Structure 1
């Protein structure tokens, strides 16, 4: 059995990569080859077909339609992908407003056959665009470093408030276009908030979190007025200013 590893011509979108793969499969199947495996390299590495064919007593030839022009095109495509990798994979969309960030938590919500990893970060990003682009930048880095099938990044206003319902941005990146499960058909899902959360609101939220259980009634409900009064006294704030922050997320459309 003769077996070959054939490079699939690169493309800048998942749709283009799939189309090139189908064309190459058709060429080899027409020439009598069997497609054994399709190995996807995602956005930053070459993809391959593993093809097989029974020997016929003479040197196997490439399909007749695969000439020098096609070979040159393939080499150039491989070089282009290699250059992207060597130059730290320049994204194909705008990240000019992305800010610095610090990783405060690492999450793993994988299941067999699907590597799903997450980072929780804080960042000085304040605007809608800054927050969205910072989360995107972090998701690209996470995916590249850990080879995740899906990379999820969430920006929180403060480490102590992580997971309490105040996300400033969320970016989910699935380079194989499989989404969470592997067959959902999406690459990016990004949301960000335009709301500003002040240091005073962060202090209120922290104190609310740390004192909440002390103000639970026998039936399990929260004695909110007295909790707010306690926070008001401790922070020296008017009672009417004691309320939890709000961060409403909106969909962010990636600009190519």
Structure 2
């Protein structure tokens, strides 16, 4: 699968994916931007939220890589991090709602400026529409929720699962798989 076209707009990205002769457009809203630079090293982080819940591994991989390259070029920074999350708010704090993460350092010097890597990419293979619905329901009802190991979380999880018609032991955890370990060169 290849990104046939990408377009960067002030607060959004659109990607057109082509596979098997079909083209699909997916829009991503930029819901967060953070500057974590230090003297001598410009570093920025962006959070993107897709407009749909059924993205494949290949779509997420191509989108996060393309967004990283585009944002790094547009922002003219040394390091860019791009997080794709299924949480409509773009919150990545808990980590269990992150669908993809790319760290891109085109000069090959990593975060610190003295590391030796260009890319680091993680993408989930186990996100499902049910998990994404669950995560968004949890976020809507408990926007300040942070501890997924507390008694409150277990009670909330059981109630939301029942409300969504899911089994009471439903686990919404999304796990990232490392696609590109810290290495130099292309992805």
TM-score of Structure 1 vs Structure 2, range by shorter chain: 0.5 to 0.7
Match of 1:152 in 2: 81
Higher RCO by CA contacts (8 Å cutoff, separation 6 or greater): 2
Q: Structure 1 residues 244, 161: CA separation in 2 closer, same or farther (over 3 Å shift)?
A: farther
Q: Secondary structure at the match of 2:168?
A: helix
Deviations 1:63-119 (A, max 9, x none): xxxxxxxxxxxxxxxxxxxxxxxxxxxxxxxx9779543212111111111110111
Match of 1:118 in 2: 45
Q: Secondary structure at the match of 1:240?
A: coil
Q: Secondary structure at the match of 2:80?
A: strand
Instruction: Decide which structure has greater strand share.
Output: 2
Match of 1:131 in 2: 60
Q: Structure 1 residues 108, 190: CA separation in 2 closer, same or farther (over 3 Å shift)?
A: same
Q: Secondary structure at the match of 2:111?
A: coil
CA contact under 8 A between 1:212 and 1:227: conserved in structure 2? no
Which aligned pairs between 1:144-183 and structure 2 lie closer than 5 A? 144-160=73-89, 162-163=91-92, 164-165=94-95, 166-183=97-114
Deviations 1:20-42 (A, max 9, x none): xxxxxxxxxxxxxxxxxxxxxxx
Instruction: Decide which structure has greater helix share.
Output: 1
Per-residue deviation, 1:148: 0.4
Q: Secondary structure at the match of 1:208?
A: helix
Per-residue deviation, 1:221: 4.1
TM-score by length of 2: 0.67
Match of 1:104 in 2: 31
Q: Secondary structure at the match of 2:135?
A: helix
Per-residue deviation, 1:222: 1.6
Task: Point out where structure 2 has 5 or more consecutive residues left out of the alignment.
Answer: 1-16, 20-24
Match of 1:204 in 2: 134
Any runs of at least 4 consecutive aligned residues in structure 1 with deviations exceeding 4 A, and if so which? 95-100, 253-256
Per-residue deviation, 1:205: 2.2
Q: CA RMSD in A?
A: 3.3
The separation in 2 between residues aligned to 1:177 and 1:213, in whole angstroms, is 37
Task: Point out where structure 1 has 5 or more consecutive residues left out of the alignment.
Answer: 1-94
The separation in 1 between residues aligned to 2:34 and 2:81, in whole angstroms, is 9
Q: Secondary structure at the match of 1:107?
A: strand
TM-score by length of 1: 0.51
